[in-house]
Amino acid sequence: MAINNKYNIELKGKVLPNEGIIEKIKGVSSVKYNKSDNTIAVTIDEKYEVDAAEILQDVVSGIRSSGGDVVTEKITQPVLNMTCAACASSTQNILSYVPGVITASVNYGNGKGNIEFLPAIVAPADMRSSLQEIGYDMLIDEEESSFENVEHIKEENYKKLRRHTILAIVLAIPLVVVGMFFMDMPYANEIMLLLSTPILFIFGKRFFVGAWKQAKHGTANMDTLVALSTGIAYLFSLFNMIYPEYWKKRGLEAHVYFEAAGVIIAFILLGKLMEARATGSTSDAIKKLMGLQPSSVVVFRNGEPVEIAIADVVIDDIVLVKPGEKIAVDGEVLEGSSFVDESMISGEPIHVEKKPGEKVYAGTINQKGSFRFKAKKVGKDTLLAQIIKTVDEAQGSKAPVQGLVDKIAGIFVPVVIGIALLSFVIWLIFGGETGFVYGLMAMVTVLVIACPCALGLATPTAIMVAIGKGAEEGILIKDAESLEMAKEINVVVLDKTGTITEGKPQVTSVTWSKKSLPIHRDILYSIEHQSEHPLADAITNELRESSTLLENVSVEQVSGKGIEGIYNNITYYIGNEQYITSKNITIPAELQDKINEELNAAHTISIIADDNEAYGVVGITDKLKSTSKEAISTLKKMGIEVAIYTGDNEKVAAALAGELGITNFKGGVLPEEKANLVKELQQQGKKVAMVGDGINDSGALAQADVSIAMGAGSDIAMDVAKMTIISSDLNKIPKAIHLSQATVRTIRQNLFWAFIYNVIGIPIAAGVLYPFTGFMLNPMIAGAAMALSSVSVVTNSLRLKTKKI
């Protein structure tokens, strides 16, 4: 909130901002840090108050560049009443000019705005008010901005548009017939006036209202072009009908163009209707995902089955699933068994067996069996809800190429108006007696044929369809940038456990030294029991029946190396050979022989030791996923290099690489080393995709050009990664790259046609061919071309839905 040009910005963390840097920002008159509430008060000079939004953005940038940060909120909200790409550019600029808004990005393709703002200074209601002033709107309440409500609004708008389009066409048909074939019949002009007036000012009212609102704020969009062109043609025709003598005195015919004005509106309405229908199909993926959730569910309350709404399910409810039913929430099977179709989430057609202890997910479909499960995640926390949210946000993100398109769209309408006026003036000067009439028609035709919509839809529609297609295939893509970048990948780096292998390690042997005691088995079991590492699960499963869980065992994980535990004031170390020897711990000969035997068999080993010597060795193996060889072979056929970087020992890495035909591998890699190895590849000019599933992969995932997480892995890995393979099947990686290639190809096709249409169409509309061929483009034909241009772009994007990847 601002008081007397003073803005309070809440800081995040304890890094204090460099007040000197902030005070140097143009327009800032003073800066004061308040320790009690961790805020800085920024006072802006009154003469620069009009630039407050830009100054505050510079202040936040200054704070962040000096190592600090500020408390911001990020929202994605539906923006209404946009009619073209220029509208998206306009609304984006309006939001950016609101003091307290840090960044704003509006996507015409899905009609949403992504906004980061300072909640201490501005609220969503302020942004909405700014948009409403110029004729736009933004839904800010959670209920009104829900997907279902937005779809309802779109449906109502579509019905209204369809009604107006049909009525406009009904009137336009006799209008054309009279204008083209019976223009000399009695009262022909009056009949055309009666037919064209409702088309323009009732069914085409939206264009004139929109243009007026834009004009009041000194801006312009597609409505401006339509209103100017049809308005000029209509008024010129009205003048000619009332005062035909004006032209007859000069030896010219007093032509009317009511049919052109009416038909242009009818064609543009038809184009808008087709565009609305086509763009509606780009969100089919979300609609399908939304439709996966049942509306009600049977739970047990006080031991009795009760049918309740899905919104009323709470964590730990016991849910009954009957044959053929959709699973309502995420949970864990308690009793019963069945096979579940998870294809709608994982993209895998094979039904998955579910037994007690197995996880089930919302939106999947039970087959023949019946079971009960305990609800673990409900509402917005289910995997399905997270997928829907990720797809929705990703469809609203912008590919890098969109920045250039947005800039062009932002100046497109003013440039077109300038070209239209120029063509009128040139015709007026060089057109002789008919120069005025031809110039007027050329101006109208230029205004009609120019279409910023095709340009604005070229990229976002392709992105929306592709991200939806990815979700259907079990590939969750977080943003447009990673989708575009994936086609550039020439090296894929793979982690081992859980990525190439199943991530379900099994113990091959447990060997104890002569000096070991039974308590060492219990200590090993008790320490590993507190670890979340997959190897720990294998060890605890093996030792559960023969060991006792000890109390008062404190545990500390050593990232990428092992785990330490303290029992009875003695520190115990569990990890690989490298970790144990780094502690100068003695390994008895009988254990060393077993270690060598397991390593030669390409098994992983885990050693337990105290400060002095090792007492036991556990051999562990992890089977390759059935699809790993095929996926790696496919990547290599695509000309993509594959590397394996694993924390496991070098012998295991070598054996695995040999089996898979991979020459670039490295074992014993620590988490920070993995990130550095990725960086080294990038320094060689390579575009790197990192694929991993664990916390120890998060650094390398963040470093990579494209980061891919396995869906069965850790939440941290999935948070960092830009793509998630829900089924953890490596075959999805080539599919993701193929999807990226197809998407970028479609975007290029769309942009080519959108640009070429305008580059060729506008000069022809201006009459450039007339001196050579005597051809002048009819404004009605221009209206039809304009209507079809955006539809063709959207239709081309929709082809991605049927593309086999």
DSSP single-letter state for residue 17: P
Closest-CA residue to 431 (of 416, 421, 442, 420):
442
Beta strands in 15-95 (DSSP E): 28-34, 39-44, 69-70, 73-80
Place of tokens 């019905």: 159
CA atoms of 313 and 379, how far apart (whole Å)? 8
Dihedral sign of CA atoms 24, 28, 32, 34 in order: negative
- Following CA atoms 582, 586, 588, 594 in sequence, which dihedral angle do they give, to the nearest 10 degrees? -10
CA atoms of 602 and 610, how far apart (whole Å)? 26
Q: Classify 323 in phi/psi space as left (phi over 0), alpha (psi -120 to 50) or beta.
A: beta
Beta strands in 431-589 (DSSP E): 475-477, 491-494, 506-512, 554-558, 562-567, 570-575
C-alpha distance from residue 744 to each of 377, 467, 481, 665, 797 (Å)? 37, 12, 11, 31, 11
Residues acting as catalytic residues: 495
- Between the two ends of the chain, the Cα-to-Cα distance in Å is 51
Q: Phi/psi at 340 (nearest 5 deg)?
A: -120, 135
Asked if 793 and 463 touch (Cβ cutoff 8 Å), the reply is no
Q: Phi/psi at 179 (nearest 5 deg)?
A: -65, -30
Q: In the sheet where 641-645 sits, what is the strand order?
A: 475-477, 723-725, 706-710, 688-692, 491-494, 641-645, 664-666
Which tokens go with 54? Answer: 């830009």
Asked if 700 and 692 touch (Cβ cutoff 8 Å), the reply is yes
The set of residues, in sequence order, having a beta carbon less than 8 Å from that of 759 and lying 6+ positions away, is none
Task: Please list the residues that pair with 117 across neighbouring strands.
Answer: 73, 101
Closest-CA residue to 502 (of 408, 608, 394, 625):
625
Q: DSSP string covering 530-551, please?
A: T--SHHHHHHHHHHGGG----S
CA atoms of 508 and 595, how far apart (whole Å)? 12
Count other C-beta atoms under 10 Å from residue 627's C-beta. Answer: 16
Closest-CA residue to 138 (of 158, 118, 111):
111
The set of residues, in sequence order, having a beta carbon less than 8 Å from that of 654 and lying 6+ positions away, is 665, 667
| Chain CA centroid to CA 137, Å | 22
Asked if 401 and 484 touch (Cβ cutoff 8 Å), the reply is yes
The length of the chain, given as a count of residues? 805
Q: Phi/psi at 440 (nearest 5 deg)?
A: -65, -45
Asked if 152 and 253 touch (Cβ cutoff 8 Å), the reply is no
Which amino acid, one-letter code, is at 434? T
